[in-house]
Amino acid sequence: MKNVLLVASEAVPFIKTGGLADVVGALPKYCNTDEYDLRVMIPKYTCIPWELRQQMTYITHFYIDLAWRTQYVGIFEMKVGKVTYYFVDNEFYFGGPKPYSWIHEDIEKFAFFDKAVLSALPVLGFRPDIIHCNDWQTGLIPVYLHERFAEGEFYQGIKSIMTIHNLKFQGIWDLKKVKDITGLSDYYFTSDKLEAYEDANYLKGGIVYADRVTTVSPSYAEEIKTPFYGEHLDGLMNARSNQLSGIVNGIDYEEYNPETDKKLVQNYNQITYRKEKYKNKIALQKDLGLTVDKHKFMIGIVSRLTDQKGFDLIACVMDQICAEDVQLVVLGTGEEKYENMFRHYDWKYNDRVSANIYYSDELARRIYASCDAFLMPSLFEPCGLSQLMALRYGTVPIVRETGGLKDTVEPYNEYESKGTGFSFANYNAHEMLGIINYAKSVYYNHKREWNKIVDRGMKTDYSWENSAREYEKLYDSLLSE
């Protein structure tokens, strides 16, 4: 049996702010339990729903040193299906209404968490062969493994993997303060280790000291070696390129299944969607006050409304996108300028634009199921899960060729009748508009071709089954070294 401990700052079903939580919740479920004992450790936030917290069992507690304080560490446990979850308890750090707060507080909070994770292992009697760390919040684990925990016999030979879900977030704070909080010696704060541009950088520490570095798509693994996508760490990414790889995230095909999804007005599958899918569209048009017309080309957007997601491109050509033969349904929150832009167009084109500036899982699924096309013109996208859900629900993605979008959406080729979506290469509003218009013309004028694109999209398999096999290969290759 190979023991793997997956450590992260969030995991479904307990706490979620982004795609990271989906990955950490899904991967252990889909790993081969005969070969891998894959357990998960996250903080025990007080904002985890009470009905979940009351199911957790107290295991033990102890104290660790952090900076000049001694801190309490409680360890709780809970099983979800076959998967064991551990929770690090300390209300001083993990209290409050949300998992993350100001960066200076988070820097100390996750230094505590990383130290607590490693300190808890002997007490739990679980010795992982691999600790699989995720994002900057766990960046100190490979560092501590190399430093104070390297002495203990228990920790000898434990390998570490650092997975980058989004390189933009690195856990950067004042060097002197981080030195004080972490208790690491000056040796670790040089430019080839934790120091970056005169600050301390948790993610950089994790990347330097981990045995393997992965990210969430092969294209993103290549992109982050370039200055444009590298977020000032492109040099380090090139230096570690022999140990760097990309594995595309999956989505849970049981959870996201148009045939059984209870949140849809009408269920359908790859065979029946031609007769059934449009019923979702008509119901959504009625609910959102749009013109009811099953033939109207409906584009969906479910996203954080930020620059990263390409909304500055959409802003440039919004009037042209909202042509009379198109309906646009938007769901999400984010930067005020984009929230207000969509509210404005909802007011201006009331019968064909619907701006829903909040988040609802139910409405998100209904949008995936109702729309004809799904727009994701991201500036960068490490993996992206929305396009995978769109493919699953028979909604054709229109994406920019970057990161995971490039790896998962095959551009339509009318000459060979291939492809599962539409894509454009340059970060340019009119190039995006051109591809939206091209998709629209295929939809209206070549309906059989459009249906074939939908067919191919619904046949693709981006379930966790595939991604889990890739992670297993990674674990095996690391353990065979």
Residue 265 lies in a domain: no
What is the model's pLDDT at position 18?
A: 81
Which residues, in sequence order, are CB contacts of 266 under 8 Å at separation 6+?
A: 276, 277, 279, 280, 283
Q: Are residues 49 and 190 in the same domain?
A: yes
Q: Are residues 33 and 92 in the same domain?
A: yes
DSSP track, 352-371:
TEEEE-S--HHHHHHHHHH-
Binned at pLDDT 50, 70 and 90, residue 107 comes out as: very high
Residue 258 lies in a domain: no
Residue 259 lies in a domain: no
pLDDT tens for 174-224 read 999 999 999 999 999 999 999 999 999 999 999 999 999 999 999 999 999
Q: What is the mean pLDDT of the chain?
A: 96
Question: Angle 165-169-175 (CA atoms, 0-180°, nearest 5)?
Answer: 135
What is the model's pLDDT at position 19?
A: 83
Q: Are residues 109 and 91 in the same domain?
A: yes
Binned at pLDDT 50, 70 and 90, residue 470 comes out as: very high
Residue 268 lies in a domain: no
Residue 396 lies in a domain: yes
Binned at pLDDT 50, 70 and 90, residue 343 comes out as: very high
What is the model's pLDDT at position 430?
A: 97
* CA 170 and chain centroid, separation: 15
What is the model's pLDDT at position 123?
A: 93
Asked whether residue 295 carries a pLDDT value surpassing 80, the answer given is yes
pLDDT tens for 4-18 read 999 999 999 999 988
Residue of 440, 436, 442 whose CA lies nearest to 424: 436
Binned at pLDDT 50, 70 and 90, residue 67 comes out as: confident
Q: Are residues 232 and 281 in the same domain?
A: no
* CA 439 and chain centroid, separation: 27
* CA 206 and chain centroid, separation: 19
Angle between helices 103-124 and 175-182 (to 10 degrees): 20
Residue type, 313: L
CATH number of domain containing 196? 3.40.50.2000
What is the model's pLDDT at position 71?
A: 95
pLDDT tens for 417-435 read 999 999 999 999 999 999 9
What is the model's pLDDT at position 17?
A: 87
Q: Do 381 and 307 touch, CB atoms closer than 8 A?
A: no
Which residues, in sequence order, are CB contacts of 225 under 8 Å at separation 6+?
A: 234, 237, 238, 241, 244
DSSP 287: H
What is the model's pLDDT at position 255?
A: 87
Q: Are residues 177 and 287 in the same domain?
A: no
What is the model's pLDDT at position 442?
A: 97
Binned at pLDDT 50, 70 and 90, residue 68 comes out as: confident
Q: Are residues 167 and 105 in the same domain?
A: yes
Q: Are residues 416 and 291 in the same domain?
A: yes
Q: Do 385 and 409 touch, CB atoms closer than 8 A?
A: no
Asked whether residue 481 carries a pLDDT value surpassing 90, the answer given is no
Residue 41 lies in a domain: yes
pLDDT over 70 percentage in the chain: 100
Q: Are residues 222 and 362 in the same domain?
A: no
Residue 188 lies in a domain: yes
Q: Are residues 421 and 475 in the same domain?
A: no
Overall domain count for the chain? 2
Asked whether residue 469 carries a pLDDT value surpassing 80, the answer given is yes
Q: Are residues 165 and 182 in the same domain?
A: yes
Task: Give how far Cα 448 sits from Cα of 372, 397, 422, Å.
Answer: 14, 17, 16
Mean per-residue pLDDT for 43-53?
A: 97
Q: Are residues 206 and 317 in the same domain?
A: no
What is the model's pLDDT at position 285?
A: 97
Q: Are residues 174 and 278 in the same domain?
A: no
Assign 3-class secondary structure to 370-406: HCCEEEECCCCCCCCCHHHHHHHCCCEEEEECCHHHH
pLDDT tens for 211-258 read 999 999 999 999 999 999 999 999 999 999 999 999 999 998 988 999
Asked whether residue 439 carries a pLDDT value surpassing 90, the answer given is yes
pLDDT tens for 126-143 read 999 999 999 999 999 999
- d(CA 107, CA 199) in angstroms, rounded, equals 12
DSSP track, 141-187:
HHHHHHTGGGSSGGGTT-EEEEEES-TT---EEEHHHHHHHH---GG
Could you tell me the pTM of the whole model? 0.93
**In the chain, what's the furthest Cα-to-Cα distance?**
70
Q: Do 60 and 86 touch, CB atoms closer than 8 A?
A: no
Query: Which domain range does residue 189 map to?
Result: 2-250+465-479
Q: How many CB atoms lie within 10 A of CB 246?
A: 24
DSSP 260: T
Which pair of structure tokens corresponds to residue 249? Answer: 């995230």
pLDDT tens for 381-419 read 999 999 999 999 999 999 999 999 999 999 999 999 999
Residue 87 lies in a domain: yes
